[in-house]
Structure 1
């Protein structure tokens, strides 16, 4: 049993506690939280800074960790996709070693749970032995209607390999999934527990493809030898087109949202979908050079979470750094709100809020110490240390 006193304790589900004390057992389970330790005679370690729960990273690609520093910044999404395909295939041992290091990096950065995209079985053993909780999204893609059934069947086979780990099958993105494949995923999601996630509007070319059948994706398909002559322009943005194709029985995570606008947000409110938004600002800057219009989403009544994306598209797997980018963009964002996005919101989406996301007696949420704040503002000097 250990007790820690900090300048403030952010439990997330209640107001910050000044000079708060958190007591945990040897397994990290919270025994007490408040201004008194669990036992009056127990020693208390004094810490400078704030204590908060461990972070929840709802979007990562662990199996792409070997691509760190191999893809140029700022080239845009289409060029990024080309470079990922060019550099992706390496010795599996090299890819596994990089993924293992990335898993350890997230642990050191105070992350306790991850929603992770997988296209292969590479990370099964790593996740089985990790200190982190993982939910794996087996990602399906083909834009060719005739290949939908084989892509879906292959996804089910990979899903079986990941079980009994927490796992679901999901569509990759509007520009890489045909209506036929969307239909198969929806039918499965309507009858199985199948948490959903999809890359959404990472670049304006995605909207151009759906509205007018123009833009850089046409060159990408041509370069990959994919004939999309069947595809007709939809006269509306990609999000507005694919929302009706997603199940209303499952929680849905829309990831990136770099070019999502207010009309898109209002449009999805017309449908009975369980929408969550995930922002990955570091990756947005790395790939497209700009952030989503974050302020548009804040008061819309949706659950907002945070992700790091992969080391192919980011310089690190650090949710505190992601919070700093968002705070710089929207100075009115409070630390408490950012921590909420990075903890309980992600835990609720992943369905693990009974264990993680808030500092409450009986939970094992992890315990992070954040120092170097300017009041309650994240600065260049702000650092994180994992306590439990």
Structure 2
């Protein structure tokens, strides 16, 4: 929602497209023969955007329902152990993913960006009534894993969008190769960035919890460290690799400096925040106000059921407001709509309501009659997953 809120508003639909948006009284006069459909006590608004989810981890929801993680690396070890025990693929994985995907749409999510290793989401694209963008994730930090990964990438079909997992898990040459391919194909390039603070310490000194964890598992080589490289954090590291541009989506981006936010703003890279997952994994809070000050409007994502007890963009807005009371609720609402659409590159069609855009949006029931913009935004943001939504289309 990037434009002004219209009190007593209406939307005119024609052949599946929005023809006009404005005040009800004015549009009734301008379109005298139109069929009227009333939505009393509701707000008409764009569909929500979930800019980061891992559908293939939906069968691991029991992990996200437990106590908050004691450590980030401990959670990774537990999650990987569960995947190995239960199976990375299979009917149980696909059914859980399908259930979560339908629940996303039912809650008002129009578009999602999914990250996975198995291709489960790609099998569900045609079954989803909204827009599902699946990305095949690559990782591998050692030199021994680099050559096979590059060969696999070279053989990948151009219809498959490929991306890197994170700086702490992906060789820099592989990150560059993945980004080069994404730019060639005009694909989005989502990558986990600065989620745990230990990623920064690993990149700047080769030490800390993440470096120790990878060494213990044999995924880190002493000949391949970043000690001595003149970088201050994960975002600056990605900048040094030349992979930040308008088609880069930095997911989480918690432990970033003001200078790094400037790099993101200057490069026009996008950011996706996942407050629910961050709270469960206890990795910290993103500097939301600093992003907004520097002109970066983040998107929102739920992350996976393995690290979030409730996959709801409404709840993500609610948690963000709780964690950052200084942030305008209208800005938070924009993150879940216009910010998400811009991050996924679909802002010309979605994220706001306007003439020429697809005629599919939400009617959201409000608890009381509200007309002031700030109060309306606050009611939508603070309502959490209890919000009742209905899809509207011609």
Structure 1 residues 193, 334: CA separation in 2 closer, same or farther (over 3 Å shift)? same
Q: Distance in 2 between matches of 1:31 and 1:39?
A: 14
Q: Distance in 2 between matches of 1:216 and 1:296?
A: 27
- Secondary structure at the aligned position of 2:318 is classed as helix
Relative to its length, the structure with more helix (as a share) is 2
2:337 matched to 1:334?
Answer: no
Cα pair 1:251 1:275 within 8 Å, conserved:
yes
Q: Distance in 2 between matches of 1:386 and 1:333?
A: 28
Structure 1 residues 16, 241: CA separation in 2 closer, same or farther (over 3 Å shift)? same
> What does residue 292 of structure 2 align with?
298
Q: Distance in 1 between matches of 2:213 and 2:220?
A: 11
Structure 1 residues 112, 380: CA separation in 2 closer, same or farther (over 3 Å shift)? closer
Cα pair 1:149 1:181 within 8 Å, conserved:
no
Matched residue count: 369
Structure 1 residues 362, 186: CA separation in 2 closer, same or farther (over 3 Å shift)? closer
> What does residue 83 of structure 1 align with?
78
Matching residue within 5, 11, 15 for 2:4: 15
- Secondary structure at the aligned position of 1:343 is classed as helix
2:180 matched to 1:191?
Answer: no
> What does residue 240 of structure 1 align with?
236
Which ranges in structure 1 are unaligned for 5 or more consecutive residues? 1-11
Offset, 1:286: 0.9
> Could you state the TM-score of these two structures normalised by the residue count of structure 1?
0.87
- Structure with greater contact order relative to length (CA < 8 Å, sep ≥ 6): 2
Offset, 1:258: 2.0
Matching residue within 81, 94, 103 for 1:96: 94
Q: Distance in 1 between matches of 2:37 and 2:363?
A: 16
> Could you state the TM-score of these two structures normalised by the residue count of structure 2?
0.85
Per-residue Cα deviation, 1:182-238 (whole angstroms, up to 9, x for no partner):
232243245332311110111111111112222112332133222411114135322
Q: Distance in 1 between matches of 2:275 and 2:267?
A: 24
**What is the CA RMSD across the aligned residues, in angstroms?**
2.4
Q: Distance in 1 between matches of 2:75 and 2:332?
A: 28
- Secondary structure at the aligned position of 1:285 is classed as helix
Offset, 1:100: 0.2
- Secondary structure at the aligned position of 1:113 is classed as strand
Which ranges in structure 2 are unaligned for 5 or more consecutive residues? none
> Which contiguous aligned blocks of 4+ residues in structure 1 show a shift greater than 6 angstroms?
none
Cα pair 1:76 1:203 within 8 Å, conserved:
no
Q: Distance in 2 between matches of 1:189 and 1:44?
A: 43
Offset, 1:348: 2.2
Q: Distance in 2 between matches of 1:383 and 1:227?
A: 45
